[in-house]
Amino acid sequence: MKLKILLIIILIGAAQVYAQNKVGTTAAPFLGIGCGPAAIGMGGAFTAVATDPSALYWNPAGISRIGKTSALLEHTNYLVGTSFNYFAGVIALDQDNAIGLSVTDLDYGSDIVTTVAQPNGTGQTWSASDWAVGLTYSRNLTDRFSIAGTGKMIMQNIWHESATGWALDAGVLYITPFNDMKIGMDISNFGTDMQLSGTDLLVSYDPNPSMEGNNKNIPAQYYTDAYPLPLFFRIGLAMNVIRLGDNRLTLAADAIHPSDNLQSIDVGGEYSWHRLLYLRAGYKSLFLPNSQEGLTLGAGLRYEVNMHLIVRLDYAYENYGLLKNIQEFALSIGI
């Protein structure tokens, strides 16, 4: 039965993504920004690892195996002056069930409004931001197999225009008998199209400018096109290749097939010592033509304040080629 479920998810995900293999034709591209420095430090190869609250982004089936209530808060000074913030909270209901809440925010900042007549500014400012809020339920069906689903609301705003969409994510995680190697799969952003609307699209229209005496100010509205959400299908492998005393080395690889770009592979590894110090490295977007992504590095510190409170600080460095680099920080708390 487990193999049948895995096969059905693979076939549905592959069919949906293959049917929409278009580059740069989706709404809400911020949904493709990876979350969590631990995952980014491993090159984004985290679908089968899924060991902290950022699993809500990579593979929500992992949160039922965290085993405790925990939260993660991330802040990143992202590309070209934008700010990326991410919150993930997980509540362990019992040993086999967990729920999660995630909030993603990409803030583009603000700027002055200019026109042809007022090139130095009108005295107004405009801003733009993207938001996504997700609610997740995950369950361990057996001691080796987990499944999860996420429902989320997605919002985009630019000055007086906004768009709202709804989407579903689904993930599975299977721990194989072969040296406890893990297989993870995730389908993200299966949902509605998004279409901008707002007061700036309201105009006055003259249906016949050549006719005198008619109403020249008929209320009208511009309509924008609707665009689909970026659909992602991920499948990942992860295994602890070294387990000697307090030393552990984990290697992982993800294959990603998005609807708004070509397929690629992420690879990475994590070394941990005494469950106190973590060192990570990876490489993103292998085999993706003209990609600016590449080398990633990361580190983490985990400290047990007492038997009921664990604090972790994670850092990641991500090379973005012509766009320089990104440095990410996150604070995690587990109780």
**Residue 220 or residue 170, greater confidence:** 170
Report the C-alpha gap between 315 and 321 in whole angstroms.
19
Does residue 15 register a pLDDT over 80? no
Residues written for the chain:
335
Confidence at 1, pLDDT banded by 50, 70, 90: low
Q: In this model, does residue 4 exceed pLDDT 50?
A: no
pLDDT in tens, 92-141: 999 999 999 999 999 999 999 998 999 998 989 999 999 999 999 999 99
Between 283 and 323, the more confident residue is 283
Q: What is the mean pLDDT of residues 33-50?
A: 97
- pTM for this model (two decimals): 0.89
Integer CA distances (angstroms), 317 to 6, 283, 284, 310, in order: 34, 11, 12, 24
- Type of residue numbered 231: L
Check pLDDT > 80 for residue 5: no
Tokens of 51: 């060991």
* Residue in 141, 128, 186 with CA at minimum distance from that of residue 2: 141
Which ranges of the chain would DSSP assign to H, the alpha helix?
A: 2-18, 37-41, 55-58
Burial (CB count <10 Å: 0-12, 13-18, 19+), residue 279: middle
Core vs surface per residue 243-260: b (16+ CB within 10 A) or e: eeeeebebbbbbbbbbbb
The model's confidence at residue 89, banded by pLDDT at 50, 70 and 90, is: very high
Averaged pLDDT for residues 224-240: 95
- Res 6 pLDDT > 60: no
Mean pLDDT to the nearest integer, 4-31: 60
- What is the distance between the alpha carbons of residues 45 and 161, in angstroms, rounded to a whole number? 36
Q: What average pLDDT does range 304-333 have in this prediction?
A: 93
